[in-house]
Structure 1
Amino acid sequence: MAPPLKRALPKALPAGFILTDSEKKKWRLGGIIGHGGCGTIYLASRDLDRDVPADTDFVLKVESRENGPLFSELKFYQRAAKPGNVQKWKQSRKLDFLGIPTYWGSGLAEHNELRYRFMVMERLGTDLQKVVESSGGRLEAASVLQLGQGLVDVLEYIHENEYVHADIKAANLMLCCRDTEKVYLADYGLSYRYCPDGEHKQYKENPKKGHNGTIEYTSLDAHRGAAPSRRGDLQILGFCLLHWLCGSLPWNKLVKKPTEVQEAKQRLMDNLPDSVQHLSVGGASTDQLASFLSYVKTLGYTDRPDYRHLKQLLASAGPGRLGLSVPRDPPAREKTSTDEEHKTRPVPARYMRGPPPTKPRSQQSDDAAGRSLRPRPVVAYGEDDSEEEEARPKPVPDCYLRGSSIGSRDQPKQA
């Protein structure tokens, strides 16, 4: 589906404000922790007698009552993802975990003559996009395959409950704030009820709705203007897995030209498995993803996928843990004289001629992705990186190592 239109954020509610949901449960608002397409996100608590703690387990999404994205997401949870139904599904499939956030309640509220809609959810941690960027744009092959298997479980559940997600991407995958081995598929504001009352929508192309979704990953059906379907969700997932494994997609430089992106995706699907196997980077095998997309290619628009077979195609011989490294933002602070003294310690010439330890990895990832990624935190070697790179490959006499060519702040102290 098309991304939601930008709407004015609702006027902020005061900390400590009490809201009552449709089941008469009361919730106390804490501080604001974010904004999104669904409005404003607050910390929340069931304890009404004290301030909401920073480590609370709940968040509360609030939007103006006239807006739509939160209403759409709310309908998904009420129809398809009630906690009791999710728990029964897990038991029937013998699953220890299913990556669907827990819905705790919803309702309407008024404050200063303004009307609001709200929804209470399980609190989650950082999104996978930040993890991918902090890893240089790629994830380990075993992690990619395990993520894929977990997401196939999620898609099977929502598909069996008449919905498709239609916007799978790293920014919509959230790590559990207490256990980073658990990853949730979130943001159902664009979810689509493809099979209301058991009757599948018919395939119908509509050029006016062409290219809907996130252009890098959206399905070929969506490029043609057809409504989202189960095979579309799986194709989107396949493109995402390929991106996380290889660090780029063949059409990354074409995202401003939707028709050319569509043509590039069609070529990739037409030439499977070779088209995917040739994208291998750093020795990581893409065979499993080639097989995954080859199976998706065989599906008809209304076909029910074989989810067990899809999980088998993504089987990994790697370690059982995801092993995702959660990025941590360094605390903001001003430079001090202590920092400057620390940076001016003498460095052996053999280290100064070589690039910083993390530099090649980020350069490789940027070249492979065809775009600039958010840089990883690295040790600062000087104010001007380009001058450093030119100087490092050449042997430099010691007298220059202590001079201005390296930067006045880097001069070693005299003995």
Structure 2
Amino acid sequence: MDWVRGETVGHGSFGKVSFAIPRNQSTLFSPSMVVKSSSASCSATLMNEKIILDELKGCPQIINCVGDSYSYENGEKLYNVLLEYACGGALSDKLKNSGDQRLPEFEVRKYTKGLLRGIHYIHKNGYVHCDIKLPNILLSENGQVKIADFGLAKRAESKKDDKLRCELRGTPLYMSPEMSDRRRTGYSG
């Protein structure tokens, strides 16, 4: 996969997202790709995301991973994951730009249905996302939901592993009250 980094389209806590432009237009690259990159020395989370996306391939409500590679840029070794580009942007931006910060009910139903299908697929395959929030819900060209950012995702534990289940993962402002309470009190069960 031969590509060059284009304009930056976003930043996350685990890396930078830029357009990925194919060097040779005759390759199998879609012109609508992005690359999520992090320093190779700090790439464990991004590598985990790539593995999980590979296992979740085939669900139309989950962002598609096309591959990965290493690159050297500005004297730094980077780990890169190539992803489909959801040109509709984040659901959080759509809501923010909707004027009165409301969406029509039919759109809310469509997004909710797509989100629930995607979450069901994730859980059916033994994973939990751990960071579902509007900025991680992207929209495709036709307005379909694409769940993204699996950097905090993990395998679901069995019932016998209940003590391990309270590991805190996610964005604090989006955590459920129970998780926030556990963080404050140190409650573990």
Does the alignment reach a TM-score above 0.5? Answer: yes
Give me the whole-angstrom Cα distance separating, in 2, the residues matched to 1:139 and 1:220. Answer: 26
Cα deviations by residue, 1:171-224 (Å, 9 ceiling, x for unpaired): 111111x22x212111111112114xxx456223898x66x5334542355335
Alignment-mate amino acid for residue 29 of structure 1: R
Q: CA deviation at 1:111?
A: 4.2
Larger radius of gyration between Structure 1 and Structure 2: 1
Query: 35, 53, 73: which one pairs with 1:77?
Result: 53
Alignment-mate amino acid for residue 37 of structure 2: V
Cα distance change of structure 1 residues 171 and 111 upon mapping to structure 2, 3 Å threshold: closer
Give me the whole-angstrom Cα distance separating, in 1, the residues matched to 2:123 and 2:139. Answer: 22
Query: 134, 158, 183: which one pairs with 2:97?
Result: 134
| Structure 2 unaligned blocks of 5 or more | none
CA-based RMSD of the aligned residues comes to: 3.0
Give me the whole-angstrom Cα distance separating, in 2, the residues matched to 1:58 and 1:206. Answer: 35
SS in structure 2 of the partner of residue 204 of structure 1: helix
Specify which structure has the higher proportion of strand.
2
Q: CA deviation at 1:40?
A: 2.1
Q: Which has the higher contact order (CA 8 A, sep 6+)?
A: 2
Give me the whole-angstrom Cα distance separating, in 2, the residues matched to 1:61 and 1:155. Answer: 22
Cα deviations by residue, 1:99-137 (Å, 9 ceiling, x for unpaired): 111110002223464211001010113211122122323
Alignment-mate amino acid for residue 134 of structure 1: N
Q: CA deviation at 1:59?
A: 0.8
Query: 218, 226, 232: which one pairs with 2:175?
Result: 218
Give me the whole-angstrom Cα distance separating, in 2, the residues matched to 1:112 and 1:154. Answer: 38
Match of 1:59 in 2: 34
Q: CA deviation at 1:170?
A: 1.0
Matches within 5 A, 1:198-347: 199=158, 202-204=161-163, 212-223=169-180, 225=182
Q: Is the 8 A contact 2:111 2:144 kept in 1?
A: no
Cα distance change of structure 1 residues 206 and 164 upon mapping to structure 2, 3 Å threshold: closer
Cα distance change of structure 1 residues 99 and 183 upon mapping to structure 2, 3 Å threshold: same
1:34 equivalent in alignment to 2:10:
yes
Cα distance change of structure 1 residues 142 and 201 upon mapping to structure 2, 3 Å threshold: farther
Match of 2:70 in 1: 108
Q: CA deviation at 1:156?
A: 1.3
Give me the whole-angstrom Cα distance separating, in 1, the residues matched to 2:182 and 2:108. Answer: 29
Match of 1:118 in 2: 80
Match of 1:281 in 2: none
Match of 1:365 in 2: none
Alignment-mate amino acid for residue 40 of structure 2: R
Give me the whole-angstrom Cα distance separating, in 2, the residues matched to 1:164 and 1:121. Answer: 20
Q: CA deviation at 1:159?
A: 0.9
SS in structure 2 of the partner of residue 75 of structure 1: helix
Q: Is the 8 A contact 1:106 1:120 kept in 2?
A: yes
| Structure 1 unaligned blocks of 5 or more | 1-24, 91-97, 227-257, 260-415
Match of 1:173 in 2: 137
Q: Is the 8 A contact 1:206 1:225 kept in 2?
A: no
Q: Is the 8 A contact 2:114 2:144 kept in 1?
A: no
Q: Is the 8 A contact 1:205 1:224 kept in 2?
A: no
Q: CA deviation at 1:60?
A: 1.1
SS in structure 1 of the partner of residue 11 of structure 2: strand
**Aligned length, in residue pairs:** 179
Give me the whole-angstrom Cα distance separating, in 2, the residues matched to 1:158 and 1:219. Answer: 19
Cα deviations by residue, 1:238-259 (Å, 9 ceiling, x for unpaired): xxxxxxxxxxxxxxxxxxxx78
Extract structure 1 runs of 4+ deviating beyond 3 A: 214-217, 223-226
Give me the whole-angstrom Cα distance separating, in 2, the residues matched to 1:71 and 1:100. Answer: 17
Match of 2:128 in 1: 164
TM-score (norm 1): 0.38
Alignment-mate amino acid for residue 21 of structure 2: S
Give me the whole-angstrom Cα distance separating, in 1, the residues matched to 2:25 and 2:145. Answer: 33
SS in structure 2 of the partner of residue 202 of structure 1: helix
Alignment-mate amino acid for residue 142 of structure 1: F
SS in structure 2 of the partner of residue 203 of structure 1: helix
Give me the whole-angstrom Cα distance separating, in 2, the residues matched to 1:162 and 1:75. Answer: 13
Matches within 5 A, 1:371-382: none
Cα distance change of structure 1 residues 172 and 112 upon mapping to structure 2, 3 Å threshold: closer
Match of 1:410 in 2: none
Q: Is the 8 A contact 1:128 1:174 kept in 2?
A: yes
Give me the whole-angstrom Cα distance separating, in 2, the residues matched to 1:110 and 1:150. Answer: 38
